[in-house]
Each structure stands twice: as structure tokens, then as C-alpha cells.
Chains A and B, each alone.
Chain A
Amino acid sequence: QSVLTQPPSASGTPGQRVTISCSGSSSNIGTNTVNWYQQLPGTTPKVLIYRNDQRPSGVTDRFSGSKSGTSASLAISGLQSEDEADYYCAGWDDSLNGVVFGGGTKLTVL
């Protein structure tokens, strides 16, 4: 049972917009920033969104992040087959005094 809650799966067709949610609490998302990671099949995770809504250089603007209260979301627009991957949210938890990850969402492009 992960501290941050994500749907285990999501799907969409090419060109669609998909949103992945990440629900937490006042001790993590409610007070600290959220980062999102993408893990393509068989590869190392890479940061997709940092500080809630910032994209590292090289990440397409089809990916966007947002945060409101104790929840965060990752949106992927113009869905492409190469977006098939596992997506994880992460944040610092003040009560646990450590980093917490969501359980991950497996995105399928139909």
C-alpha cells in the first residue's frame, strides 16, 4: 500500500489526452512539491515533471503537471505509442521523514 495513490492503469488512443492522478495527504503533497517519473519498458526511470509543473529540458510540452491541495495530476496530450510506460509520482513526506512514491500507473496506448 503506497502512501501516494495512483490508478494502476490508464489508457488512450493516439492523439487523445490522458490524465493520471496522484492522491496524498497534508504531510506530503499538501506541503511539498511533486515530481513525476516515466519508466519506459526495460529502462531506468527519468524525471518528467519536477516541482509540480516544471519540465526538464528535453521533455516535450505534451507532458504537463499540476497540483491542488493534496492531489497532483500528470496530463499527456497528443498521446503517442512511445508514451507507453509506467508513470510514478513522488514527494517528500514530513511525517515519515522520507520520500514516498505512488504505486505507479501503467499507460497503454490502444
Chain B
Amino acid sequence: EEHLLESGGGSVQPGGSLRLSCAASGFTFSDYAMNWVRQAPGKGLEWVSTITNGGGTTYYADSVRGRFIISRDNSKDTLFLQMSSLTAEDTAVYYCAKRGANSWSHFDYWGQGTLVTVSS
């Protein structure tokens, strides 16, 4: 069974950096595009970034482009999100999600999420 486990969340000051990881298991990681989706406290879902299965193509939301970098290590079945120049607006639970077979917005498995809090 597919399983995704995020880690690396925590508290950081405005302007700081943080690196999130997502360990995948139960499926052939290198066959699937992967995503980060976030949810600010009490708010809705916001797509953050997508990376293709081989890592050669990445997509970003306008709100994070130039500050966040998505990457993956297929030899270790792990997805990453390097976040820099963080602001209070980046405070959220960050979920990694596996792309389903049917479309770029089809996320068929989600991790439990990791909380990032940006505060002074």
C-alpha cells in the first residue's frame, strides 16, 4: 500500500529557510510525478509545486516561484521542498501527494502533512 511520510517542518523566523522531505513507499516512486500542496490554518488547499517522475520538469505556484525549489531523489524514494525567504503567509501544513494516473490535478495518495510556522 502506498505511503507518504513528510518531515522537516517546524518553526522558523521570517526570511529563514527550511527543507521538507517526503519519504515514499509501497509504489515505484520513479514512475510518478509528485506534488506539494499546503493548507494554511483554517484555510483551503493551495497547490505549491509539481515535479515530473524523472525530475526533469518542475512547476510552481506564483506565490512560491523563485523562493521554493522542488526536487527528488529516486534512488532514495524521497521528495524534497527547499523553502527560502519564508514569510508569515507560508505558514501552513505541507502535504506531499502522489500524482494519480489520470491528470496533473489528480492526487491519489497524500501524506499526513508537516506543519511549517513562520513567526518571529
Contact = CB atoms under 8 A, between A and B. Distances in A.
B103 A104 contact: no
Q: Interface range on chain B: under 10, 10 to 19, 20 to 34, or 35 or more? A: 20 to 34
B62 A45 contact: no
B45 interface: yes
A45 B100 contact: no
A35 interface: yes
B112 interface: yes
B111 interface: yes
A54 interface: yes
B107 to A, nearest CB: 6
A86 B44 contact: yes
B46 interface: yes
Q: Interface range on chain A: under 10, 10 to 19, 20 to 34, or 35 or more? A: 20 to 34
B60 interface: yes
B102 interface: yes
Contacts, number: 79
Interface string B107-120: 11011110000000
Contacts of A32: 103-105
B32 interface: no
B50 A45 contact: no
B106 interface: yes
A63 interface: no
Interface string A86-110: 1010111000111111111000000
B105 A91 contact: yes
19 contacts: A35-B102, A44-B95, A44-B112, A45-B45, A45-B110, A50-B103, A51-B106, A56-B108, A90-B107, A98-B61, A99-B35, A99-B47, A99-B104, A99-B105, A100-B47, A101-B44, A101-B45, A101-B46, A103-B44
Interface of B: 35, 37, 44-47, 50, 59-62, 95, 100, 102-108, 110-113
